[in-house]
Amino acid sequence: MSVVRPVAFRLLHTNKNVLSSVGCVRHATTTTNLKDFLADNIPKKQNEVKEFRKQFGSTKVGEVTVDMMYGGMRGIRGLVTETSVLDPDEGIRFRGYSIPECQKLLPTAGGKGEEPLPEGLFWLLVTGEIPTQAQADAITNEWNQRASIPNHVITMLNNFPTNLHPMSQFSAAITALNSESKFAKAYAEGVNKSKYWEYVYEDSMDLIAKLPTLAAVIYRNLYRDGSTPCAIDPKKDWSQNFSHMLGFEDPLFSELMRMYLTIHSDHEGGNVSAHTTHLVGSALSDPYLSFSAGINGLAGPLHGLANQEVLVWVTKLQEQLGGEVTDQQMHDFIWNTLKSGQVVPGYGHAVLRKTDPRYMCQREFALKHLPNDSLFKLVAQLYKVVPDILLEQGKAKNPWPNVDAHSGVLLQYFNLKEMNYYTVLFGVSRALGCTASLIWDRALGLPIERPKSFDTPGLKKLVGAK
Ligand code: CMX
């Protein structure tokens, strides 16, 4: 095992602008082996949490109201997730770093692009440190080596009917990959619980490595000629290999994928996909079973499927209103959506109270690379019109756009037109955050999750209602 220097808060970055905006940059230790990093750092974190709980274990952190219990547990402080934190006004921070900071600090694909590598983001989510280029490249190499898919999974995908939604195919394929689970095998052989994290780590790395190929097989079966995706090229990064396996050769599409797969990765612990993965993992279901459960949650229209719903809705708008759309026509169309008891997809959020920085990041990509695209202009016009209408309606607590309001337009520009497929891309990215958390869940020995529930008579009795 290579020697790991103590985690330090050091200013190693040379870019002064970055330093002034970010403040302290936590830089990576020297090892390029992520598992070695964990082996050295997990005992420190275990100790930190043990000491913290010893001192503050019975300190109250909030209260629970009856409305919270009926209201989707909104605002209940009930989970610890190390990888990211979501501020209602500012948006997501991955291990303390905002999206613009990650874009400045994370390693890129060198001469091939400027967007951060999702490999570097994964290192950050797992370790809390900004990786060096060598560390990000080491993750690329590992994922390229772990990418092979067992035949039974490919056979299963090839036999699915074309009317089975891509997300159902994706989830089923991830579940079927559990034949490869090193965690399940080790557990069956009686592994000591102190070693759980090592096997969860192995499964997580394998799972992430295999997802692009699974996703590409689904795409090519449903929307192309069903031919086998090209082989993984060890010289390409995760996103570029994925783009090429899908059949997209434009280098700018690979750049889009690097950005897309980075920003969709994690959104603290309470969202449906992350929370489900964490919950199922707490029963010691292996990472394949846990993450496929999370994927089923992501497939819901109020969560990840909203990126599909946005494009379906915008397409309807175009069909009904034609080319140039006035603000008034758009206003009426939106009100019709609301009056027919539907939500405006891509707007609102359970936690955020401002425009999602993931929306802004995609908008900036569009302004840079496709400023004159007509669909982008329409999405930008919606950004002007929708919030006022949602405010006027007075129901949504957040009238601003979320991540899903913008992703489809970028994919359409590159000719990835199949809207039903969009949530699969979200799912490939979401694996980074969900598995990084699973590794820490097992490293910290978190127990099976089991909150207390009540029936209404019991709750009435509890609060003294007649
Ligand atoms: N359009 C119309 N009504 C909306 C709305 C929207 N975009 N967002 C919220 N509302 C409504 C809710 O349906 C709710 O109505 P009822 O009181 O009739 O039930 C009311 O406003 C209050 O909801 P809220 O507290 O503001 O929002 P929630 O935390 O309950 O729900 C979310 C959050 C995201 C499900 C909701 O804003 C929504 O349905 N948005 C559209 C779907 C969407 O874009 N989802 C993607 C979210 C990001 C992601 O997970 O990927």
Q: What is the mean pLDDT of residues 441-459?
A: 98
Q: Which residues line ligand 1 (CB under 6 A)?
A: 271, 302-304, 306, 338, 343-350, 395-398, 402-404
Mean pLDDT taken over the chain: 94
Looking at residue 11, its pLDDT comes to: 29
Backbone angles phi, psi at 170, to 5 degrees: -65, -45
CA dist 292 and 152 (Å) reads: 17
pLDDT digits (tens, 9 = 90+) for 294-343: 999 999 999 999 999 999 999 999 999 988 899 999 999 999 999 999 99
Looking at residue 20, its pLDDT comes to: 42
- Among 70, 76, 268, 302, the mutation site with the greatest number of ligand 1 atoms within 8 A of its Cβ is 302
26 — pLDDT class (breaks 50, 70, 90): confident
Count Cα neighbours of 185 within 13 Å in the Cβ-side half-sphere.
Answer: 10
Share of the chain above pLDDT 70, in %: 95
**Would you say 28 and 135 are in contact if contact means Cβ atoms under 8 Å apart?**
yes
CA dist 448 and 258 (Å) reads: 35
CA dist 361 and 24 (Å) reads: 23
117 against 30, higher pLDDT: 117
Looking at residue 23, its pLDDT comes to: 60
Q: Does the annotation count 404 as an active-site position?
A: yes
Closest alpha carbon to 365 in 25, 99, 122, 19: 99
Name the pTM for this structure: 0.94
**Would you say 237 and 110 are in contact if contact means Cβ atoms under 8 Å apart?**
no
Distance 317 CA to ligand 1 centre (A): 20
Closest alpha carbon to 218 in 265, 263, 144, 157: 157
Q: What is the mean pLDDT of residues 41-59?
A: 98
pLDDT digits (tens, 9 = 90+) for 251-285: 999 999 999 999 999 999 999 999 999 999 999 99
pLDDT of residue 1 exceeding 80, the answer is no
The DSSP 8-state label assigned to residue 271 in this structure reads S
Atom of ligand 1 nearest to the CA of 348: 37
Q: Give exposure, 94-124, as e/b (b: 16+ Cβ within 10 Å).
A: bbebbbebbbbbbbbbeebbebbbbbbbbbb
pLDDT of residue 22 exceeding 70, the answer is no
Looking at residue 379, its pLDDT comes to: 97
pLDDT of residue 7 exceeding 70, the answer is no
Mapping DSSP to helix (H, G, I), strand (E, B) and coil, where does residue 33 land? coil
Looking at residue 28, its pLDDT comes to: 62
Closest alpha carbon to 438 in 295, 298, 293, 286: 286
Residues counted in the chain: 466
pLDDT of residue 426 exceeding 50, the answer is yes
Looking at residue 322, its pLDDT comes to: 87
Contacts 24+ apart (CB under 8 A), 240-243: 240/109, 240/112, 241/144, 241/147, 241/212, 242/212, 242/215, 242/216, 242/428
Looking at residue 431, its pLDDT comes to: 99
pLDDT digits (tens, 9 = 90+) for 285-296: 999 999 999 999
Measured CA distances, 78 to 62, 276, 289, 324, 352 (Å): 9, 14, 23, 48, 18
CA dist 269 and 179 (Å) reads: 27
Residue nearest to atom 34 of ligand 1 (CA): 349
Q: Per the residue annotation, which of 237, 404, 406, 441 is the catalytic one?
A: 404
**CB-count exposure of residue 282 (10 Å: 0-12, 13-18, 19+):** middle
Contacts 24+ apart (CB under 8 A), 54-61: none
Q: Give exposure, 54-88, as e/b (b: 16+ Cβ within 10 Å).
A: eeeeeeeeeeeeeeeeeeeeebbeebebbbbbbee
**Would you say 44 and 126 are in contact if contact means Cβ atoms under 8 Å apart?**
no
pLDDT of residue 16 exceeding 70, the answer is no
Structure tokens at 400: 């601003």
Domains of the chain: 32-60+81-445 (1.10.580.10)
Backbone angles phi, psi at 449, to 5 degrees: -90, 130
Q: Per the residue annotation, which of 264, 349, 406, 441 is the catalytic one?
A: 349
Count Cα neighbours of 152 within 13 Å in the Cβ-side half-sphere.
Answer: 8
